Structure formats: structure tokens, C-alpha cells
Chains A and B, each alone.
Chain A
């Protein structure tokens, strides 16, 4: 029987590793492909494949509305979704610090399973390493994923053209605010929690409604500001965003005011920014609003011919200013 703490022996590849695998990991992830227990999984794909990877080092590991496991699955699922793919399979590499509570590990793995189920994917392969106390911070997770690219879509910043509408799927800054509040000991109402969620069903519906969507991006680190700046530069177009249209929870704005942040620069883990041809914008918006993760979707601005490579903001009082690329590390270890 596995003890209540993870030990170095659990990562050594012997009997203890097997016990951890059989008693903790397999029951959590359990699916036929993983249960083969080969060195790797063999899977069937349909055609063009999207492939991505990401590592998760968030601190604290548990925060309002989620934990590191939720981020690890949703993050990779969303990265695949943003390339215009339907996520299929992911891997999970765990780097655990010696002494980590098995109870916490079980909770993290259960959340990963839950998110995988919701996204409609399997965790088909993985790895577990344990390092000495002080050499990691609780647990780090790496996930990689593959997905089938939806036929007929061609997502690329090069396809962004003047006149296109910029759609944002909902309230911004919730994830970073939840993490920051956790870290600074601020008490927030229940409404402020991570927005972490798998967006693949919503993006699939969006692409089916409008295969001409030029770009889908999830505004994680660097927030909406970073995504908009990257697209403005990559497409060589200007962007003009309306501050009045930006959905920001009052409490998130409050956290920002206290800690000196701007919600536009805060990380999100369950949001998507879409660049859509103007005549298809309303259709895409309705599809998004019909999904629980896009209920508050709205058009926040448009692509312009002037101010190439720059992002402008029409301020609440009607002025204009630039929204710059975030400079450095605003909030470290946010995901």
C-alpha cells in the first residue's frame, strides 16, 4: 500500500513505483490505451495532426476554482483548440518533490481526469519522477497533446485583414486575480476564481460556423494585451479595441487597483480571442454565447488598416491610447 507521502522510491522505477502507478495513477486516468502499459501509446489519427506541449509550475498549487492539474490538462487542450484542432490524446509527466502528500496528488490527478473527460480526450502516456526535498516546489507537470486539425480551417495571423472583428469570449483577468489573491492573502468573493476550462467544444462549434476565422488565441501569460500585440505585429495590421466593451469583473478590477495591475495584462486560462470576418462575426458570437464558456462573449474591437503593428484602446471617456506589449514578468508562476 502506498504511504501518505511521496518518497524518492516512488520515482525509482521499482516495486514502489509500480504501487504508485497501480494504486494512484491508473485508477485516476484509467483508459484502455494507457492500460496497455507500453513504453508509449499507439493511436489512430485522421489526417493533419496538431501537436503541442506545455509545463506547469503554478504557485500556489491549489487556488480558487482549480489546481495545477486542471491547468495542465486545459492548457494543452486549449493550445490544440487554438490551432483549429480537435484535441485527442495527451501525455502527462509529473515531477514530484519528495514528501508531497499523496492525498494532494490524488486530488490533482482526479481533476486532470475530470477535465480530460470534459474535453473528450484520453491521457494515454506519462512519466513520474521524484526529486529530493527542496529541488522542486511540490509538483511540476508537463503535458503534451495531439489533435486532429479540423478540415477546411486555416488559422494563421497572416489571414488577419483590416475590417475583421475581434471577439473575446468573456471576463478577463479572473485566473491571475485568483492566483494573486491566494498569494497575497486577499479574501475575495466566490465570484472571483480561475476561469480555467477546456475550450475545445466551443472552438469546434465556432470553426464549423465560420471556417474563415483567421486566428484563435488563448490569452494566457501576458493577457489579452500580449495576444493583441503579437497578432498586430504578425499580421502587419492595426487593432483598435474599445475599453467600454471589455468585460472585467468589479472584484478583479479591485484586486488590480490594490496591487497595481492592468486586467488587460493578466493571464486567463479559459478565454479565447478570435479574429473573424465582419460578416461572420454575429454568427460566431451566437455560437460562442450558446456555449457555457462563451456566455459573455462580445466584440471588443476591429482590425484597422492604419497604425500597423500597433494596438490602440478607445478609453472609457473616448480618448485613445496605445496598449503596449507587456515588458517583463508581471506575475511569475501564474500557470
Chain B
């Protein structure tokens, strides 16, 4: 399809979304729960195309953003132990904890290394047999299989000095938590493409049915997102609530059973803390008892006094992540908190809601529609 056809198709979809939304006679609010979707929506300028009564809000879809302060504090505390090497994805470095960040710890001499895959940590562990190598395992269903595969590979290769500091999270339980939250209002979900490749579409069925809120799995091209929105509006207009798949080339109903099996071997569901949402039941993964030897928190628990007490901040990331306020409602956004001097994690991560608002000019551009 050439660019002209793409634009025409987009216009047709917007016209149909507008007409269908009109028939509902009310304001509709759809949420994406994937950071890559957030960026794609802003990059394509989709919000500006939609009618006034169709609103898009971003949910807790950026793994860096939803990771709470206390996890960062733990990572920083471990980093300060001389026998520890931290391995992590690069975007965790600048995420603020209560008092400092990994980046600051690194400047002060902590051994923190950026890896592109958790599997790289195995070699680092082999090269440094007298050190404890700790991988910061954060992310959703998409990253859990590689973290689990790393543990299995380390076990198989007899590597005994590689550990996980685990904060793996699960999407469906947090969607459920949002729907149970009285402050949150969502008429439908744009369901994550990458996560669904692993999980399949079936896992969303119970939520969609119990809460009668439609969901559509889709990809990251502008037209795929518009088609998902069209399907969501159509379901709302007809009073339906089902899971639909707009990403059928890639996402299968059953997902990827091999990845699921690897994750299940190492991890089990557990209550987990989310930034701004507190503890959400069974919304994360913890390492099973058989793999306790790879869990740094069990092998080398931090003494109670080593973590700083929680602090108060004007940053409203917690509410932004639930879609209750927009970044512009935060007193820091665009003033004290900008990408070059980010205060909250939503501005730190390139997939963060605040970073996307800022970079693509949401709310500060005068051209309108």
C-alpha cells in the first residue's frame, strides 16, 4: 500500500469511528497497556485524528515506569556491595529510586553493566567467578521467557554465581485491578501485540466477560491501531464485549506454548507492587522454590536498615499510569521534569507516557486537528 492509499484508508476508518461513536451518545475512553503502542499512537498523531468524544489514555504499559521505587532501591543497594555485578537493560539506569539511581551508583564506582539480552549475563558470570552477577529481571510476559531461559541455561552449565532480582509483571491482573478501581474509567482496551504473541488471546477472555469491557489485540502500525479502535467503538456501539484479534498474522489464540512452558518452569504467580497501584494480587512472577538458588533476595537478603524510607514527591506518575490524570496535570511536567532532567520514571523511559507526550508535543501544539 502506498502512502496515499494509507492516508485515504485512515480517513475512512476515522470517519467510521466518528459515526459509530456518535451513535453511543457519550464519551468513550480507550486505554492501551503497552509502551510500544503509546509511542506508536503519538508518533502517528492518532489522538488528533479522533473525534472529541473518543479519548485515548495510556495505562501501565511501560515496564520501566511501573517498577516501584523500592525495587530500584533494592537494585541500588545490591549494586553497592563490592562482590556484586549488576547486569541490566540500559533504560533502567536513570530510573529514580527513593534517593538515587543506578546511574548515580555507577558513577560512584558500582559495577553495573548494560546487556542486550539476559543471556549475556551468563558469560559475565563465567568471566567473574568470584563475583555475584545479578540481572535485573523486569518486564512483562514478553521478557519473562528469556529471563527464565537464562536461569535454566545457568543451571545446565553449572553457573552458580548468576542471580535474578525479579520484578516480572503480568498484564491481565493489572487490567483487572484497573477495572476494579473506582477512579479509573475505561470503555475498552487496545491489547498489547508483543505480550499477546507469548500469552495468546485466551487469557483476556475472563476479564473482558466479567467486566463487560471489550479488548482488541493489535500491532504497531498506525492503520492497525485505527482498525483496533474501530472494532472497539463498534463493540461498544452494539453493547458487546469480546476479545478480538487485529494482529492475526502474528498472534495466535493459544500464544507461544514453548515460551509459556519455560516461564512456568522457573516462575510462579505472586502478589507484586506496582508504581502508583500498590500491591496487586498475583500480578507478578516470583521464582519457584526449586530455583531459589538463583534468587538474589533469597541467597543474599538485604538487611532491613539498608533500604531508604519512602519519600513524598510531587511527581504524579502513579496516577498517570492509571490513566486518572494526564501528564499535563502534573505540576512537574515540562517544567522541572523534562527528558534531559527527568524526575519521574514516565519521563525517563522512551516508552513512558510523559516522555511520549513531551516528545511528540501532545498538549503544546497549536495546529489542532
Contacts and interface: CB of A to CB of B under 8 A. Distances in A.
Where chain B touches its partner, the secondary structure class is helix
Given A307-B365, A307-B366, A244 B45 contact: no
Contacts of A321: 42-45, 48, 360-362, 365
B359 interface: yes
Contacts of B4: 244
B49 to A, nearest CB: 5
A219 interface: no
B312 interface: no
B361 A317 contact: no
Contact of A316 (B44, B47, B358, B359): B44
A11 interface: no
A322 B365 contact: yes
Contact of B11 (A306, A318, A322): A318
Which size class do B's interface residues fall under?
A: 20 to 34
Contacts of A238: 366-367
B339 interface: yes
A319 B48 CA distance: 6
A327 B341 CA distance: 11
Nearest to A245: B3
Contacts of B361: 310, 312, 321-322, 324
B335 interface: no
A3 interface: no
Nearest to A307: B366
Contacts of B44: 315-317, 319, 321
A316 B46 CA distance: 11
A315 B43 contact: yes
A128 to B, nearest CB: 39
B359 A320 contact: no
Interface string B4-22: 1011001100100000000
Given A244-B4, A316-B7, A324-B361, 18 more contacts: A240-B367, A244-B7, A312-B367, A314-B45, A317-B44, A317-B45, A317-B223, A318-B7, A319-B44, A320-B45, A320-B368, A320-B369, A321-B45, A322-B360, A324-B358, A324-B359, A324-B360, A327-B339
15 contacts: A306-B367, A312-B365, A313-B45, A315-B44, A317-B223, A319-B48, A319-B49, A321-B42, A321-B45, A321-B48, A321-B360, A321-B361, A322-B361, A324-B359, A327-B339
Interface of B: 3-4, 6-7, 10-11, 14, 42-49, 222-223, 226, 339-340, 358-362, 364-369
Q: What are the 9 closest A-B residue pairs judged by CB atoms, nearest first?
A: A319-B45, A322-B361, A317-B10, A307-B366, A321-B45, A321-B360, A315-B45, A317-B222, A320-B45
